[in-house]
Amino acid sequence: MQDMTKSKRFRIEPGPPRFQRDWATVEWLYWNQEVNDILKRDVNAALFKAAYDAVGWESYYERLRGTPFYEWAVEGGGILSFGGPAHIAENRFFSTIGDMSMLEGDWLREHPEFNQVLHDIHVETVEQMVNYILQHAPQETPGPRIGDSVVVKEGTTDPDLGTDLGGWQGRVLGLHEGEGGTILVRIQWDSITLKNMSPSLIEARKEQGLAWTKTYLDSEKVEQAVPRDTEADAFKTALALSFRQA
């Protein structure tokens, strides 16, 4: 297999131990800090989607024709799998082609040379996406980014129930375009906010089919804050409260 040296725009790492195979390409391409920072302010993931659409996928499908991977790619929704907002927030956004290669292990054992084809496709397509993102990144503007800790400004009320949210704190999970060009932030409440949430409020949101661990607010209604816990703390607290409410 050809040299898999690190790129300035992403680095290649083998999959975690439970995914490693000596007969299949299982590799994670971690996108670099500059790209991660751009994706942190990507509203509606529009830039990422545009970068994906800019890749000439059909030509790569043709390179898979005649192999089990062709149907996986065409009918399964693509060649690569990607990380999500949590990975962007942690500066660990990645792409991988390993999901597909592991599922066709028997064929790869008989055609080990095809691992190089899979690797080349992975690197070439990610290069195209990364280059597109770097070339089309919007000018940076003030405001929250994915992964930021934010606190709700005093006097802000819940747009659904009218509850006072002033001082509530959490982390930004995503940025979305609202009415009139406004930017909405999707906030996951931190463990302290969740612990202070009354059972009656949780029940009221559940009765209306609303999430109680997160919400959407206008970006103008929040400001930067110092984290008070970890994402793991927030997850454990939400899980514990869910069992109590069951």
Vertex 31 angle, CA 29 and 33, to 5°? 150
The three-class DSSP label of residue 175 is strand
Question: pLDDT-based confidence at 1, cuts 50/70/90?
Answer: very low
The whole-model pTM stands at 0.81
| Top mean-pLDDT range of 87-101, 131-145, 156-170 | 156-170
Tens digits of residue pLDDT in 105-158:
678 888 888 888 888 999 999 999 999 999 999 888 788 999 999 999 999 999
Q: CA-to-CA distance for 193 and 202, rounded, in angstroms?
A: 12
Token pair 């499908």 is at which residue?
A: 61
In whole angstroms, give the CA distance from residue 42 to residue 186: 13
Query: Residues 6 or more apart from 198 whose CB is under 8 A from it?
Result: none
AA letter at 191: S
Domain-wise residue ranges, the chain: 10-136, 149-245
185-to-85, 153, 221 alpha-carbon distances in Å:
13, 13, 9
Q: Which residues pair with 28 in a beta bridge?
A: 13, 96
What order do you get walking across the sheet with 94-96 strand by strand?
Answer: 10-14, 27-31, 94-96, 81-82
Cβ atoms of 43 and 177 within 8 Å: the answer is: yes
HSE-CB for 194 with a 13 A CA cutoff: 27
pLDDT tens digits, one per residue of 28-72: 889 999 999 999 999 999 999 999 999 999 999 999 999 888 888
Residues 176-233 pLDDT 10s: 998 888 899 999 999 999 999 999 999 999 999 999 999 999 999 999 999 999 999 9
- Return the residue matching tokens 């390993």: 98
- Alpha helices by DSSP H, listed for 30-187, are 33-39, 46-54, 57-64, 68-75, 85-89, 98-103, 105-110, 114-136
